Each structure stands twice: as C-alpha cells, then as structure tokens.
Amino acid sequence: MASPTRTDPAPAEAGGEPLAILCGGGAFPLAVAHAARRAGRSVHLFALRGHADPGVAAFPHVWVGLGQYGKLKAELRRRGCRDVVFIGNVLRPRLRDIKLDWQTVQLLPRIVRMLRGGDNHLLSNVGKLFEQDGFRLLGAHEVAPDILVPPGRLGRKAPDRAMLDDIAIGRQALTTMGPLDIGQGVVVINRHVVAVEAAEGTDLMLRRCAELRENGRIRTPTPSGVLVKVPKIDQDRRFDLPSFGVLTVEGVARAGLAGIAVEAGGVIAADLAAIIAAADAAGLFVHGFEPASPT
C-alpha cells in the first residue's frame, strides 16, 4: 500500500514557529531534524520525491516534486513555517524531466536562467525566490551546529609534515578555483593535484583516483596523499556546504590515500563519531584545519 503523501501537521512548540526542512538525499536531513527536535523546536519535513530518504516518515512530512513550487509554498504556509532549511543531495535535473505545477510554469523563464550556471548560482537564486515569497532561509549548521567539523586531529592519527604540505597545496588550489564555482574537493599527492571534484562528486572522484593507481598513472606508495575539502569562496553557506561521511573514508582508503583534511567550521558531517571510528580502523588521519584569515 502506498504511503500517504502527507501527515497531519503537528502543533508548533510553544514560543516558536515550526521549522521547515526541505530534504534531499542522504543522512543530513534526518540529522538536522533530530537536532532541531532536541533543541525543542517542532519540524516539518518537505521531502523531494525521488531523492529524500524514506526515514522522513518518522516526522510530520509532505512529499513534493522538484517542479511543484506552488504546492510547496502552499504547504509551508498551511503549516505555519517561515524558517526553511535546505539540506541533502539533489542531482541537477534536466528541465524536460521536471513535472511543473502551474505556479512553477509561470516561473519557467527564471528557472531557465537559474540553471545556466554553477551550483552556487543555482542555489543562491532559488534562495532569493523563497525570500521574495516571505520565507527566511537558515543554514543547516545554524539549526544543528554539531554537524560542523571541529578543528584539530579528530582520530588517533595526525598528518605528518609531508601531508601538511599536501593540505596546503589543496587549500591553495581550491581557493583559486572557488570563484569559478567548480567544486569543493581535491586530491593532492606529493604536492601534486591529481584530481579535482566537479559534477561527479567526491565519491566518484575518489573512485577515479583508485583507478589511476590500478592502471599505473599514480605510482606513489600507499598510503600517500590527502583529500582536501573546503567551502567555495563567497559561497552562501546556507546551501550546499561540503560534507563527508563513512563512505568518504572508505573511498579514501580504496584510493590509497593517507587521510582527509577539511576546513573546520566549514564542512559538515552527519555522524562524526562513526567517521572517526572508520578512519581509525583504516589507519587514516582526519584533520580539521582552521579557515584562512580574510585578506
């Protein structure tokens, strides 16, 4: 029997409006929902059909399609939601694959312009649309600050001098590429950038690095090299903060790298304890470096 498309709205907690969480795929939407509840706030999840995890059913929720902005807006207002968090993985759709409701059809010229650019361009313009309709957008880390990665050594191992040099090269590369809205991760081995994350995402980039080792294009001993992740320069941090998880650790191990380095306070992890346990078991380091000082 098909699950219902919605649950009855639950009353907001006293003293605050319910929080709306627009859910893509992965574990982060549920982590944010649980964190908001622990903080005493009621939540309503607006789950993107074909992307969100079935676990949204544990909360008051509505299933919506990517082209149903009219329905989404009506449901947000019906449930008394003004604060909205965007969180989770969503593959960039082809316009022809989106089933548009009437209000979204009226926005079609604007949507076409949104799709002509990088992810930061797209998400920032989606955010402006919501704000113009009276909603207030919050970053997931504002609702669930525990998902932000802290600074320092995060497991048993620490990066050595050579790894710190690789981290510095990775940070420089990402700072240079950031204004081009390319990606949020690179792999550096012996001060050499061997892979750049683009549309394929971190997991496929790491798979490519493993294949490069297998076919002899990378010949350094294992483990060597590091995955570096930072937010893009001038990124709107309410959207699409870089993230990593246990699958990232597994990919780093398969690629023969020595560890993971991320910007503390700029990268999110849904279950940091599980990440650290996986890294320790694989003999990898996980390191949170301080953000660069503004110039």
Quick: pLDDT tens for 219-242. 999 999 999 999 988 788 888 789
Provide the token pair at 20: 């709306």
pLDDT confidence bin for 2, thresholds 50/70/90: very low
pLDDT value for 294: 60
**37-44 LR contacts (CB < 8 Å, sep 24+):** 39/143, 40/13, 40/16, 41/13, 41/16, 41/143, 42/10, 42/11, 42/12, 42/13, 42/16, 42/18, 43/18, 43/19, 44/9, 44/10, 44/18, 44/19, 44/20, 44/79, 44/81
- The answer to whether the pTM exceeds 0.75 is yes
Provide the token pair at 228: 């570096």
Higher pLDDT, 97 or 254: 254
Contact 3, 35 (CB under 8 A): no
Mean pLDDT computed over every residue of the chain: 88
Higher pLDDT, 118 or 206: 206
Helix axes 201-214, 246-254, angle to 10 degrees: 20
**Phi, psi of 112, deg, nearest 5:** -60, -40
Classify the C-alpha dihedral 208-214-215-218 as positive or negative: positive
Domains of the chain: 19-143 (3.40.50.20), 148-289 (3.40.140.80)
pLDDT value for 80: 94
Alpha helix segments (H runs only) across 178-256: 201-214, 246-254
- Look at residue 82 and give its three-state secondary structure: coil
pLDDT value for 14: 34
pLDDT value for 164: 97
Cβ within 8 Å of residue 124, ≥6 positions away: 236, 239
